[in-house]
Structure 1
Amino acid sequence: MDITILQAVLLGITYWLAVGNLPFVGLWSLQRPLVCGFIAGIILGDPVQGAVVGGAINLVYLGFMSAGGSMPADMGLAGVLGTTYAIAGGLDTATSLAIAVPIGILGTIVWYGRMTFDSIFVHMADNYIENGEYDKIWRANVLFPQMLCFAATVIPCALAAYFGASYIQGILDLLSGTILRIFQVIGGIMPALGIAITLMYIYKGEAKVFLFIGFILAVYSHLSLLTLGIIALLTAVVYVQVTEANAKTAVTVNDDEEDDDL
């Protein structure tokens, strides 16, 4: 399918909202490939396929961590463009995964470029403070960084969506055969990698017992995923409450022992 200029711009705006750190959207909602893939599907007229492809891409990033401002991959861009190319080119899930992951790695260029140029606005804020212009600090803190983010995300993403989608079928024809099958195999492995990374974090300390309980419950109870999710949520709430209560009890006991010693 051909992508219009309006659709390309809307896809770019979706990417900007996903990584722009705006209130209520961004890193913990729209940035997830499942969500931004679904939005991309709505823009392209196929929300179901967008959710399916976005959900598949999301599996790769289940163990995603961004510590200290580092960005190992841009899953927002992977979700938007990966879904766009999948719908525009009629790709299967495995092939779209193999394309989306490199796109996510390239997206880190946008992230680190933003972080580098955003440092300029910090010095601008310092100047506003030194001059007593406190009413202008919001410009350096919000306005200018968001203008930079808008330009650095909307423009390249829109161009990639508009021009890239028209060439995706030709690229697939060029790669047809063994090379395309290799891409499909790699794409099929990617979700397993994301799940394995997640299990590495789960399988530590006291959390590992819940992994086995959940596995046994899922296999033998034949409950729906929604029911299992609710049970898992309630179990987590009870566990946190019990842990906090035990911690408070331990602190109280220690305080009483210190008072007795005095």
Structure 2
Amino acid sequence: MTILQAVLLGVTYWLAIGNLPFVGLWSLQRPLVCGLVAGFILGDPIKGAVVGGTINLVYLGFMSAGGSMPADMAIAGILGTTYAIVGGIDAQTAMAIAVPIGIIGTIVWYLRMTFDSIFVHMADKYVENGEYNKIWKANVLYPQIMAFFMTVIPCTLAAYYGGAYIQSALNLLSGRVLTVFQIIGGLMPALGIGITLMYIFKGESKIFLFLGFLLAVYSKLSLLPLGMISLIVAIIYVQVSSNNNKVAIEEED
């Protein structure tokens, strides 16, 4: 890995959690997406997508409420994919390594949230002085500059130096320890899917879960037609529910 590639990985991490328009928390932050980008940077986009998608399974039920960040899935996807490509490890082992990295990555998030409070007071002073044209600096410019250095530097160092030593570490852990990592990595997708099912298996959505399961098992259709059928059913359900609500409101009136 070159230092340029490591810096590009760091910039990818900044874009993934920087809350910039059209990129970030709802797109690039997902391990599937940032893993693919990391794969392009490192010259192996196919493995990047495979490893990123595997790591993404752990975070299917990911939720961030009230500004909390239970895990940093962007850094998990980027570094997990990086170590998989540079170290030549499989997706399950990379996932077992990436998940603890994601937990450690929350330190960056909470440091950002802590120091961002400084810019709030700065914006208050701009308002008090009537300098409304400078509020954007406290709201956008300064926080993004701080986020750039807080994300690019640690991710670049972790990618450049960590990638160089990951193969040596794996050789040291080869045998039973590495097998344990592979087993743990194989179990983690079940955890992500299980958390997602907890949210799905509520209220009226239960019937659609069983219907989709039966259709997938016995119809032998591929994912694309199954996805289209699911979309059509969802649209019809929303339309019927909306019409029923309108009728109920009209009857009450």
Q: SS of the residue aligned with 1:72?
A: coil
Structure 1 residue aligned with 2:92: 94
Select 1:59's aligned residue among 47, 57, 62: 57
SS in 2 for 1:211: helix
Give 1:11-90 correspondences, 5 Å limit. Answer: 11-90=9-88
- Aligned partner of 1:178: which letter? R
Alpha-carbon distance, 1:239 to partner? 1.4
Cα drift, residue 249 of structure 1: 2.0
Corresponding position of 1:112: 110
Structure number, greater radius of gyration: 1
The residue number in structure 2 matching 1:180 is: 178
Superimposed CA distance per residue, residues 122-151 of structure 1 (whole angstroms, 9 cap, x where no aligned partner): 111111111110000000110011111111
Cα shift readout 1:78-128 (whole Å, capped 9, x = no counterpart): 000000000000001111010000010011000011000001111111111
Partner of 1:195: 193
- Opposite residue 113 of structure 2, the aligned amino acid is M
Indicate which of 210, 231, 234 corresponds to 1:233.
231
Q: Corresponding residue for 2:157?
A: 159
Q: 1:124 aligns with which of 110, 122, 133?
A: 122
Q: 1:245, CA displacement in angstroms?
A: 2.0
Aligned-residue identity in percent = 74
Corresponding position: 1:146 with 2:129: no
Distance 1:15 1:138 in 2: 23
The Cα shift of 1:240 comes to 1.7
Partners of 2:182 and 2:35 in 1: CA distance: 19
Give the length in aligned residue pairs. 253
Provide the TM-score with structure 1 as the length reference. 0.95
Structure 1 gaps, min length 5: 257-262
What secondary structure sits across from 1:23 in the alignment?
A: coil
Counterpart in 2 of 1:259? none
2:230 is the alignment partner of 1:245: no
**CA distance in structure 2 between the aligned counterparts of 1:249 and 1:242, rounded to whole angstroms:** 11
Residue deviations 1:226-247, cap 9 Å, x none?
1111111221122122222222
Per-residue Cα deviation, 1:187-231 (whole angstroms, up to 9, x for no partner) = 000001000000000000000100011111111111110111111
**3-state SS of paired residue (1:151):** helix
Distance 2:110 2:239 in 1: 39
- Separation in 1, partners of 2:121, 2:42: 41
TM score, norm. by length of structure 2: 0.98
> In structure 2, what is the Cα distance between the partners aligned to 1:244 and 1:69?
32
**Shift of residue 248, structure 1, vs aligned partner:** 2.2
Q: CA RMSD in A?
A: 0.8
Partner residue of 2:221 out of 223, 233, 248: 223
Q: d(CA) in 1 for partners of 2:173 and 2:97?
A: 12
Uncovered stretches (5+) of structure 2, i.e. residues with no partner:
none
**Is the partner of 1:29 in helix, strand or coil?**
coil
**3-state SS of 1:67 partner:** coil
CA distance in 1 between partners of 2:189 and 2:90 (Å): 14
2:142 and 2:241 mapped to 1: Cα distance? 44
State the 1:13 CA deviation: 0.6
